[in-house]
């Protein structure tokens, strides 16, 4: 027998056959597996099995097992020990003890009675039974209307007077604990509704949410500037690292009925464009894939976390009925309405300026993302920061902040974990679990075929002018790339200066499609030069064009363009290294030379602990002259 058993239990309680066992009604259905697991571990330990064998078999640690044993040895209210009743998850193991003394003045004003009411219920089983019986009248899905709190509170007071008398009731002033009773009654009603849920079609949600039978009825999309600086790195002409800091934009899509994030995209531009919005829409439809490797060590998905399009088969290629956009300029682009109506077959609803409450679901996502995650990153900013604090955040981001790729993988994990967290609006169910319970009979508009209309979201139509001169044959310029084909070259100067309609695939800019309005189809045009040698999207094209304009990147002759771009991206994705200072010549310098600063070693892989930082406040900067004197 283990010494822990001899220390905690008397001889009569060392046999688990004498322990109190909870009934099936006392164990919530969601926690029965966890209870059985704990019971097996405790029984094995009480029998004298080896500790390491128990821990390996049940997948728990020693500290958890010891705490369960101590809970089982606690005295029970009716005598004896708590036994196996203490192994029910989230069960109260100790009676409520009020730490603060009762303030009569506060009670006279109707405050400070919440703890007293909790203690009253915890110490009297008959009152808890009465509360459960009264809540059962309103937890049924057929009940409609408001709960009569005043009437129910009167019934509760009458039972309390019979139990303890008028002098024993602690709420003798003003509302007599009505607010505490209201909270307890509503909590019990919500609990009974959750426990009594049947398949979704017959559940209580049918009475309170008639639209629940059809998910993806309404999707909200909004763009917010993240409260954190990130760094963009590039290599200058002399081969040294240079860094720019900026605050990126996050465009996210939320399914209103479940509150799940269904798609997102990151924009590093000054303002998000309609192309960033199209990437968000495409990510909402395209099946999500789990990342297998992370640059940030310690970053991982929660069990069952992910985007609905990759976790739930019915959500892959799922069409929404209505898409709500905020009042940002990217949502008012000319082609957005045509794309939403013609390719997603959804109606478009534009938001009201200055009314974020009309988009509560998407605002809730951004609030959670900002206050719990992004603001705590290196380079995070908060509202009301002083200029000194903001400059310090920018400096931290320039030295140790996240890159664009690292921020994208961080957001992917955080948003996927957000979908797996329980939500109070769904009786403790996560958004993903709420979507899984959609009835099979619901009308589902989804298409994951190769020719689905949503796959053309990243194809946009533009007008361009045909350029022709004595130096070159007719061609079309788009994002500093020259496109042509045999048909366009054979046209000579016939099409010179005329506008044509081009179709651009934003994921592959090697080719475009061109046609004359109301006339001949020019077919597929290929880009000339290094751009034709490797697959690239509009994001990479714009970035390299900017680096070429700044003199930080140029095409080398005789070098494979794809290898050259890959090498450039590889170098700029690494952490910047400090350049060692040059030591001065002793023969020239008359002063005693300073020791050379050693070069900084190569930075290891990022840790999740390095990404997040504690909030540091500059007291002098916050209080200013108030500290003087």
In terms of domains, do 345 and 279 share one?
yes
Look at residue 296 and give its three-state secondary structure: strand
| 57 plus 7 within the same structural domain | yes
**Where a domain ends, among 572, 592, 615?**
572
Residue 554 is predicted with a pLDDT of 86
Q: What is the pLDDT of residue 599?
A: 42
Please check whether residue 215 lies inside any domain of the structure. yes
- Residue 609 falls inside a structural domain: no
Same domain, 296 and 373: yes
Range of 408's domain? Answer: 210-436
In whole angstroms, give the CA distance from residue 307 to residue 289.
Answer: 8
Q: Does residue 310 share a domain with residue 178?
A: no
Looking at residue 178, its pLDDT comes to 75
Is residue 341 pLDDT above 80, yes or no?
yes
pLDDT band, residue 371 (cuts 50/70/90): confident
Greatest alpha-carbon span in the chain: 106
481 lies in a domain? yes
16 is a domain residue:
yes
Alpha carbon distances (Å) from 595 to 569, 579, 584, 591: 35, 15, 10, 12
CB-based contacts of 575: which residues, under 8 Å, 6+ apart? Answer: 602, 603
Per-residue confidence (pLDDT) for residue 331, from 0 to 100: 65
- CA angle 369–340–322, rounded 5-degree value: 65
Based on the domain organization, do 186 and 232 belong to the same domain? no
Among the residue ranges 327-331, 537-541, 616-620, the one predicted with the least confidence is: 616-620
User: Which residue bears the tokens 């259905």?
Assistant: 29
Q: How high does pLDDT run on average in the chain?
A: 78
pLDDT, average across residues 238-257: 78
Residue 472: pLDDT over 80 = yes
pLDDT band of residue 96 (cuts 50, 70, 90) is low
pLDDT at 366 over 80: yes
- pLDDT for 481 equals 92
Pairing state between β 322-325 and 218-225? parallel
- Please tell me which residue, 442 or 481, carries the higher pLDDT value: 481
Q: Specify the pLDDT at position 581.
A: 33
190 and 216 fall within a common domain: no
pLDDT of residue 309: 94
Judgement on whether residues 358 and 237 belong to the same structural domain of the protein: yes
| Per-residue confidence (pLDDT) for residue 475, from 0 to 100 | 92
Residue with tokens 């760094």: 231
Q: Is 219 within the bounds of a domain?
A: yes
| Residue 585 located in a structural domain | no
Query: Residue 213: pLDDT above 80?
Result: no
Burial 259-283 (b: 16+ CB within 10 A, else e): bbbbbbbbbbeeebbbbbbbbbbbb
Q: Are both 277 and 410 inside the same structural domain? A: yes
Do 262 and 351 fall within a single domain?
yes
Q: 532, 555, 572 — which closes off a domain?
A: 572
628 has a pLDDT exceeding 60: no
Tokens coding 329: 């300029």
Identify the top-confidence range among 106-110, 295-299, 439-443, 524-528.
524-528
591 located within any domain: no
Task: Determine how many CB atoms are found less than 10 A away from the CB of residue 251.
Answer: 27
Q: Give me the number of domains the chain comprises.
A: 4
Q: Which of the pair, 325 or 102, is modelled with greater confidence? A: 325
Q: Average the pLDDT over each of 178-187, 218-227, 307-316 and give the range with the smallest value.
A: 178-187
User: Quick check: 620 pLDDT over 70?
Assistant: no
Domain boundary among 132, 166, 196: 196
Are both 29 and 154 inside the same structural domain? no
pLDDT at 296: 87
Q: Are residues 53 and 131 in the same domain?
A: no
Model confidence at 391: pLDDT above 60? yes
Strand-pairing partners, residue 501, are 463, 515
Do 132 and 248 have their domain in common? no
- 169 in helix, strand or coil? coil
Determine which of 145-149, 267-271, 580-584, 601-605 has the lowest per-residue pLDDT on average.
580-584
Confidence band for 201, pLDDT divided at 50, 70 and 90? very low
Residue 578 lies in a domain: no
């Amino acid at each position: 027998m283990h010494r822990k058993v001899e220390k905690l239990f008397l001889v009569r309680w060392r046999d688990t056959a004498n322990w109190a066992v909870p009934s099936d009604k006392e164990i919530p259905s969601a926690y029965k597996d966890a209870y059985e697991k704990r019971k097996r571990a405790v029984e094995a330990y009480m029998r004298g099995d080896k500790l390491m064998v128990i821990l390996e078999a049940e997948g728990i640690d020693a500290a958890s097992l010891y705490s369960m044993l101590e809970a089982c040895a606690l005295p029970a209210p009716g005598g004896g020990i708590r036994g196996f009743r203490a192994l029910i998850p989230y069960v109260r193991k100790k009676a409520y003890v009020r730490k603060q003394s009762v303030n009569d003045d506060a009670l006279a004003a109707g405050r400070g009675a919440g703890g007293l009411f909790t203690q009253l219920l915890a110490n009297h089983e008959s009152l808890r039974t009465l509360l459960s019986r009264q809540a059962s009248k309103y937890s049924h899905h057929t009940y409609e209307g408001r709960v009569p709190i005043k009437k129910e509170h009167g019934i509760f007071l009458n039972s309390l007077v019979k139990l303890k008398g008028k002098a024993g009731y602690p709420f003798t002033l003003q509302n007599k604990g009505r607010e505490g009773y209201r909270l307890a009654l509503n909590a019990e009603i919500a609990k009974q509704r959750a426990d009594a849920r049947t398949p979704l079609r017959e559940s209580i949600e049918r009475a309170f949410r008639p639209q629940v039978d059809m998910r993806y009825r309404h999707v909200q999309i909004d763009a917010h500037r993240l409260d954190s600086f990130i760094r963009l790195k590039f290599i200058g002409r002399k081969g040294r690292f240079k860094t720019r800091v900026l605050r990126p934009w996050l465009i996210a899509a939320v399914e209103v009925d479940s509150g799940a994030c269904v798609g997102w995209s990151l924009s590093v531009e000054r303002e998000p464009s309609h192309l960033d919005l199209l990437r968000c829409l495409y990510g909402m439809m395209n099946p999500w894939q789990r990342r297998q490797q992370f640059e940030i060590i310690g970053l991982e998905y929660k069990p069952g976390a992910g985007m609905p399009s990759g976790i739930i088969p019915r959500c892959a290629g799922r069409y929404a009925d209505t898409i709500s956009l905020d009042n940002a300029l990217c949502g008012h682009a000319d082609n957005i309405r045509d794309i939403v109506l013609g390719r997603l077959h959804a109606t478009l609803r534009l938001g009201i300026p200055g009314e974020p409450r009309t988009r509560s679901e998407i605002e809730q996502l951004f609030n959670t993302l900002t206050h719990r995650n992004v603001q705590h990153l290196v380079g995070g900013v908060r509202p009301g920061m002083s200029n000194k604090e903001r400059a310090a955040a920018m400096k931290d981001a320039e030295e140790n902040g996240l890159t664009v790729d690292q921020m994208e993988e961080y957001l992917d994990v955080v948003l996927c974990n957000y979908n797996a967290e329980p939500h109070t609006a769904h009786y403790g169910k996560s958004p993903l679990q709420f979507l899984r319970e959609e009835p099979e009979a619901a009308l589902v508009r989804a298409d994951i075929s190769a020719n689905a209309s949503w796959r053309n979201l990243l194809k946009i139509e533009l007008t361009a002018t045909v350029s022709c001169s004595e130096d070159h044959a007719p061609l079309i310029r788009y994002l500093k790339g020259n496109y042509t084909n045999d048909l366009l070259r054979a046209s000579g100067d016939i099409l010179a200066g005329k506008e044509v309609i081009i179709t651009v695939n934003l994921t592959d800019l090697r080719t475009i499609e061109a046609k004359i309005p109301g006339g001949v189809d020019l077919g597929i045009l290929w880009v000339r030069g290094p751009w034709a040698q490797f697959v690239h999207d509009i994001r990479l094209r714009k970035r390299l064009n900017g680096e070429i304009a700044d003199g930080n990147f140029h095409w080398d002759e005789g070098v494979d363009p794809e290898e050259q771009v890959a090498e450039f991206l590889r170098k700029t994705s690494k952490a910047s290294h400090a350049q060692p200072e040059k030591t001065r010549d002793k023969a020239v310098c008359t002063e005693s030379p300073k020791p050379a600063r050693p070069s900084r070693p190569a930075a290891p892989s990022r840790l999740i602990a390095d990404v997040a930082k504690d909030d540091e406040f500059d007291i002098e900067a916050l209080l200013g002259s108030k500290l003087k004197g």
